[in-house]
Amino acid sequence: MEHSTLPAPLLAGTCLAFTPVPGQRHRADGWTPDTQANFIRALEAMGSVGRATKAVGMGRRSAYRLRDRPGAASFAAAWDRAISMGRTYQFSIAMDRAINGVTIVRVLKGGAVDVSGGPDMDIVRSALREDATPLKATKDTV
């Protein structure tokens, strides 16, 4: 397979643009430039290597092997940017659900309907606990 020095067309012009990792042998079900670009996009959306590899039909271990190949520096940099963006995005979704809540509709026996919802304070406390730990340590030492 020829090695292209051009960015993956799917991500060209974005902060996730990268030069695809050269293939050692051509395989239709392997890490083609399009599969690599789709993986980076999935990583940006999901913030999880396992879920992103599953989304593109590849294995987690093969993704890490691809990242470690010679000529993968551009791909690895895009991976790092994408996972950071994905984790930030997933955190914002969790906080939105925590603060604004999720409506739950239950159909009870006899056809009665129960609608409940509201903020999920457990998620808020969990997020704040992680951020507040360094502050608490600083407060105790002052």
Identify whether residues 81 and 125 lie together within a single domain: no
Higher pLDDT, 129 or 53: 53
The H or E element spanning position 39 is: helix 33-46
* % residues pLDDT > 90 (the chain): 36
For the chain, what is the mean pLDDT?
Answer: 80
12-31 per-residue burial string, b: 16 or more CB within 10 A, e: under 16: eeeebbbbbbebeeeeeeeb
Answer yes or no: do 64 and 8 share one domain.
yes
Q: 69-85: per-residue pLDDT in tens?
A: 999 999 999 999 999 99
Average pLDDT estimate for 128-139: 50
Query: 88 and 20, same structural domain?
Result: yes
* Boundaries of domain holding 109: 101-142
SS3 24: coil
Q: What's the rounded Cα separation, in Å, for the pair 101 and 17?
A: 36
Q: Are residues 20 and 51 in the same domain?
A: yes
pTM tops 0.75, yes or no: no
What is the tens place of the pLDDT at every residue in 24-68?
677 777 899 889 999 999 999 999 999 999 999 999 999 999 999
